[in-house]
Amino acid sequence: MEALGRALRSFHERHERIKHTIHTYAMGCFYFSIPVVGGWYVMQWAISRSVNEIGERGEKLRIKSLDGHVGDRTIINGRAEKIGAGGKYGGVHLAVSDPITQENNMAMLEAMFRKERRKRRRRDGEEGKRRGEDDDDDSKEELR
């Protein structure tokens, strides 16, 4: 009788271990896959809905061109007004900007890159000094 009790207890312990392993893996897959698969179906529904509403290439749209709505200008109350930075509602300079703004943006970007290069040189120099390396002029020239 005692042997039967040990066998049943051993079976029960092994069964619980297997159950725990399977449920841990299966439930992880299950809970991960539901939002992924559900999201895919929602996207497919949204795509088909947009095709039904506006057509494959927008052929069902009432207004098919963007007259007066290009770049940083739009029509507000019948008047063409500048929007974005320097215009109505403030904001940032748009990608379609005048040559002066593009030059200013390039200058600011280059200044930021120079500052980052200086920081990197200082950081690399400090790490080299901590390791006991010498900063010779050749290595500094290579960084420039």
State pLDDT tens for residues 19-75: 998 888 888 888 889 999 999 999 999 998 988 888 777 777 766 555 555 566 677
**Which residue has better confidence, 78 or 135?**
78
Instruction: Please check the confidence at residue 10 and state whether its pLDDT lies above 90.
Output: yes
Rounded CA gap, 97 and 110, in Å? 18
Nearest to 95 by CA among 69, 68, 71, 66: 71
pLDDT of residue 54: 83
State pLDDT tens for residues 94-135: 555 667 877 888 888 899 999 999 999 998 888 777 766 554
pLDDT of residue 126: 81
* Furthest CA-CA distance within the chain: 97
Instruction: Please check the confidence at residue 140 and state whether its pLDDT lies above 60.
Output: no
pTM of the model: 0.34
Tokens of 75: 């029509």
Asked if residue 112 lies in contact with residue 104, where contact means CB atoms within 8 angstroms, the answer is no
DSSP state at residue 96: S
pLDDT of residue 66: 53
pLDDT of residue 72: 65
Q: Where are the domains of the chain?
A: 1-58, 68-93, 98-144
Task: Compute the C-alpha angle 66/70/75, nearest 5°.
Answer: 75
Residue with tokens 């061109």: 65
pLDDT of residue 78: 79
Per 3-state DSSP, the chain is made up of helix, strand and coil in percentages (nearest 5) of 65, 5, 30
Asked if residue 75 lies in contact with residue 68, where contact means CB atoms within 8 angstroms, the answer is yes
Nearest to 118 by CA among 93, 140, 85, 87: 140
